[in-house]
Each structure stands twice: as C-alpha cells, then as structure tokens.
Amino acid sequence: MRHHDIVIVGGGPAGLAAAVAAKKAGITDILILERDNVLGGILNQCIHNGFGLHTFKEELTGPEYAARYIARVEEEQIPYCLNTIVADITRDRQVTYINREEGLVTIRAGAVILAMGCRERPRGALNTPGYRPAGIYSAGTAQRLMNIEGYLVGKEAVILGSGDIGLIMARRMTLEGAKVKAVAEIMPYSGGLKRNIVQCLDDYGIPLKLSHTVVNIHGKDRLTGVTIAEVDANRNPIPGTEEYYSCDTLLLSVGLIPENELSKGAGISLNRVTSGPNVNDRLETEAEGIYACGNVLHVHDLVDFVSQEAALAGQNAAEYVMGQNAAQAAGHTIPLVAADGVRYTVPQFLETAGMRDSVTVRFRVADVYKDRYISVYYDDKRISRTKKKVLAPGEMEQVVLTKKSLTEYPQTERITIRTEVE
C-alpha cells in the first residue's frame, strides 16, 4: 500500500493553504486530492472582488485569490490529483480514491486534512408547495452557470434567503440586465455580511423583505411566479400577507452545509450546530491524526479566515507526522461552552499540554444584538470582556485565549464564551 505523510482531501482555498503550510513546516510528501478539473474550489466562480484584504492586504477577485495559492503550490512542487473522488476515509487514516488514470486506489496517510468545503441546502429541505418547474436554482449553481458557463439563468428573479451568495447574485443578475424583484428572508435579520447588503441590494434598489418566505411556486413547465408571505415569530406564514411576484427564476440562498459524509464514514462525531467535526485547539478531530479546516469545519464568512485556519491545520498536521506534538495526549482537556447568545465555538475544547501561546476561538451569535459584551469565563471567573456595538449571525466573531492566562488558573474545568448586557 502506498504511503504519504499528509493527504489533503479538497483543493479549494482550505486545502491549498493547508498544503503550503505543511510544506513550509518541513513535510515534503504531501498529496492533494481534488474532485474538480482545476484547483481553487468555489473561488473560481466568485468573480466579484472583496477577497484577500486580510491575507494579501489588497482587494482581489475569487479567481485571483485562488491563483495566488495555486502558484504557491506549484512553486513548492506539491503534487495533486484532479478529477479524483475520495470514496472512503478510515479512522486509521486509510484513504480510498478513484480517478480515470489510476482506477481505485487505497493509500495510507501519516495525517489526513479534511478540506472538502460545503454544499448548498437544497429546495427539498424547504417543503415549499408547488410543482418542480424549470427556473429554480440554488444561488451557487446560478453563479456557476453565469460566471463560468456564460448563461443568463433568467430575466426576472426572486431570491429566497439572504446568505452572501444570494446577495451577490442579486447584484450579478442586475448587472447582466435581469430584474431582481425582491430578496425574501424568513429570519428577522439577514444571514449575510452587512457590506453585501449595502453593496448588492441597497445600491441597486433591491428590496430585502425580512420575516418573509415563499409560500407557493407557480408554473408547471417553467416558473411563472412566486407568492411571498410574512411570517410570525414561529416562522409560520401570516394569512392575509401574501404577495404575488411574477418571475421566471427563483434563486435559493438558504444556507450552507459542511460536506462531511466522509467524516461520518470515518466515525468522526459532528457538532450538532456547525455540522462539522468537533476539534481541539490544534484542529484535530477525535480521530487521531485527522484534522479539519475551512468550511467543512464550520461555514465561514471570509475566505481569509479559511486560509488562516487551514494554515494552522497544515502546520499542526506536519508536527504530528514529525512527532512534535505527541505530548498533548497527556494534557488536561478543557471543554469550551457557548452560552447566552453564542451558538457555538470552534474549537470545541483545548488540550493544554500541546496548546500554542495563543488560540483563536471563532464563533457566531444567535441573533442581532446591540451594545453587548463578549465575555470569557474560566469556570466562574470572568477573564475578559469586549464591548460590541452590533453583533449579527452573518458576521463571524472571535476571541483569543492565551496559554499564559490558563497557567494562572491551572484548575480550570471549562471555558465559557457568552454575550452579556452589563
């Protein structure tokens, strides 16, 4: 059986950043497995700008950002397989993949990095009544058809959901001459970044209808229109609030789901909130030597944070292969608890013996909050608090925990991150 020190599943922004970091950390035997015919992942169809402000200190389009990392992979001569489907991963790090050139292959890895990204939530999850006419697309599919294949998917559109892809597609369709009549969002707040609401909707006069959803789809062969209604606090449509919009296209931007079928197949437990693996501060899953990063771990808002997280996973995987972090197994495990408006944390626990000098903990809040504090508690002792004018679910937040602060409270049994009014 063939062996590689590190096998990376996914050649998108997370996989590329992890590979570069692992190579810089001293590992030369790395293999990237990518199912598409090019590296770069979803970035290849994101032709809008706004990428790279944190990583490269300049504004890039998605393909430009991907090209920077692809160039690094090429410079480091890191091998990769394209048009390759990973069929199975085991807890002892056997990876089975298939492609046209090699057929079915099983290899053993010193460490595995999961970087499969995420997929869009389909219409079937929405239980919207009506036929299945042509003209209904997920926002990401429409983005690929327009930006890579060169097709205009429709001339009159309604968008359900205010995730970032949906907001960006509202602007994209408008720029191509289509009329976007409304963006309906079932929640009382948008799921996208504030800057995308301003730049993609407000600047083009596209209405955002919060606490609204599509309650009926009209048309049998081709979509002819949709009915939108207001919803109550329980997200149930309010009778008498229905509005009909004629349109030939409905885009669905109703959330992203980490692509974790391979993780489940390896027996790795998934977090019920993020749908990604539970990991420690080294981004290692409960399966020793298997790491996770990027959108397969939790859905990010900025690709720059994906790259930062993936670089950490690559460095940690390299250290694992070289036997430099074996001491963490004997360390004290401290769970991280999300409370009072914080939905989840990544990582979910710390291993104190192998902890770096600082650990960045990322999380999202459950609702829109104004003038609140983000507080960190070691057991019942508040260690830090940061005032925030606005907290929103569409924007990822973070706190930094230091090893020095934990040494001052060596008996800490749990770390809680919460929002507080006072």
pLDDT at 250 over 70: yes
pLDDT at 328 over 80: no
pTM: 0.94
C-alpha 194, offset from chain centre: 17
**Sheet harboring 369-378: ordered strands across?**
349-351, 333-339, 415-420, 369-378, 381-391
Provide, rounded to the nearest whole percent, the portion of the chain with pLDDT above 90. 90
pLDDT per residue over 51-74, tens digit each? 999 999 999 999 999 999 999 999
Instruction: Give the residue among 274, 276, 282, 365 at the shortest CA–CA distance from 319.
Output: 282
pLDDT at 124: 64
pLDDT per residue over 345-354, tens digit each? 999 999 988 8
pLDDT at 156 over 80: yes
How confident is the model over 39-50, as a mean pLDDT?
A: 95
How confident is the model over 301-323, as a mean pLDDT?
A: 96
Instruction: Give residue for tokens 């980490």.
Output: 258
Terminal Cα-to-Cα distance of the chain (whole angstroms): 59
User: What is the average pLDDT value for the chain, to the nearest integer?
Assistant: 94
Measured in degrees and rounded to the nearest 5, phi and psi for residue 28 equal -105, -20
pLDDT at 354: 82
Provide, rounded to the nearest whole percent, the portion of the chain with pLDDT above 70. 97
How confident is the model over 189-198, as a mean pLDDT?
A: 92
pLDDT per residue over 213-245, tens digit each? 999 999 999 999 999 999 999 999 999 999 999
pLDDT at 41: 96
Neighbouring CB atoms inside 10 A of 10's CB total 29
More confident site: 331 or 416:
416
* Banded pLDDT at 327 (limits 50, 70, 90): very low
How confident is the model over 13-26, as a mean pLDDT?
A: 98
**Spatial contact of 86 and 36, defined as CB atoms under 8 Å apart:** no
Query: Can you read off the two tokens belonging to residue 411?
Result: 């008996």
pLDDT per residue over 127-143, tens digit each? 777 888 999 999 999 99
Beta bridge partners of residue 244, listed in sequence order:
227
pLDDT per residue over 118-131, tens digit each? 999 876 656 777 88
How confident is the model over 339-360, as a mean pLDDT?
A: 94
Amino acid at 146: M
**Spatial contact of 128 and 215, defined as CB atoms under 8 Å apart:** yes
